[in-house]
Amino acid sequence: MIALVGLLGCLESPPQYADAVPERRWTGSFELGRAGQSLAVGRFGSEASARIAVLAPHLTYPEGGPTDPARVYVVPARAVGTLLEDVADGVILADSPGIEADCRCLVALPDGDSDALGITTSLESYVMRSPLDGTASMADADVTVEYMPYDEVAELGGTSRSLAGSTSRLDVSFLRALLRLDQPDGAVRPVATDFAITNNAIDDFNPIGTRMIRLGDRLALSTYHPSQPVSSVALLPDDASSWEDAIQWTSQGWHIEALRSGDLDGDGSEDLVVSDGTGTVFILTDLTTPGTLDGAAATRIVTTEPGARFGRDVAVVDLDHDGQDDLVVAAPMADRQLERMGTPPGRFLVYRGPFEARDYDWREADRVVFDVESEPNDVFATTFAVGDVDEDGQDELVVGSSVWGPGQVGMVAWYDDLL
């Protein structure tokens, strides 16, 4: 323990640094399947009970190798077993070529007493309504939205929508249609989506959306410019009529890794949490003034280990059930020097809210969690999802590790009582 604390730095109160035993844990079955690349928690299935949707995108093999389609497993949260293929009561065969290597493209969409599952690729967006039992294909989707140049027509729920607009900027009506923000009452509506998309509703010289979430009655999305090392986060009101209505914050990171919302400073209002791939996590509390992420952030959590991939994903969840949101940050490549000491690489770090308006060193975490079963080549904690997995009225943390296990089969686990 003395050696570990020494490696973590001289802190007045070093974080609790330990393995945490998950409530459930399942691994993939297919070589290069990478199960856990994207996750969603919802009341899927005919019984409308808590289930976890898990994407296994299946990387492309060299020519002549096996060509397994991507799969979305729908797993009962309390399922007992070790393999996703065995415990899933629903499997969606996702043979779309638009599922990309870094696609975080699953989301639970409230739909009456149950949830629908949104699946977004770089080519199309699908809505699969419950029940999600047995085997299905994305061709069976209730709603399919094709991404087209916005001088063409997209089909949305049987209604044609013209996406004509200026070719010099992203078309706001396209974004609102994609996330179904303006559908009639009773239609599927997202609450907090995290679509990873690259769409062709813009030309090569304009920013491209990669992460989208709802923030109250507003839409937050990230953009990056294909030809410049700059990215940004934009906040659009529901009634936005053009891109000029957006409040934007720019970053020097190539792209935004993660975008979440929650009350992190304890003032009762939602804040925006952004990770821009530079090893810094930003908490924005003033959402009315544009600028840079560095200048606008009330709070920054900064890593001192450049290769840790700190901020690969983030989650906002009340882990200690005190009514205050806490923050979880992935660092899947952290502390790899500890391998020779018998501690496997890969971490996620837990920070108890509320946060002060200051800079934090990343080692100020209240808990640092590794996976005792990981091997030296595994990458633990690459994606998160949050939801009431055990249906006790409190949210839990679901962790995906897509580059994990022999042949990168992937692994998913969910945790309770982390604080």
Cis peptide bond N-terminal to 97, omega within 30: no
Q: What pLDDT was estimated at residue 171?
A: 38
Residues of the chain with pLDDT under 50: 1-12, 147-209, 339-340
Q: Determine phi and psi for 106, rounding to 5 degrees.
A: -105, 145
Distance CA 10, CA 28 (A): 39
Q: Which residues contact 247 (CB under 8 A, 6 or more apart)?
A: 234, 235, 287, 288, 289, 290
Residue 227, pLDDT score: 58
* 199 Cα distance to chain centroid: 18
Q: How far apart are CA 39 and CA 239, in angstroms?
A: 30
pLDDT for 45: 75
**Residue with the two structure tokens 């049987």:** 158
pLDDT given for residue 224 in this prediction: 67
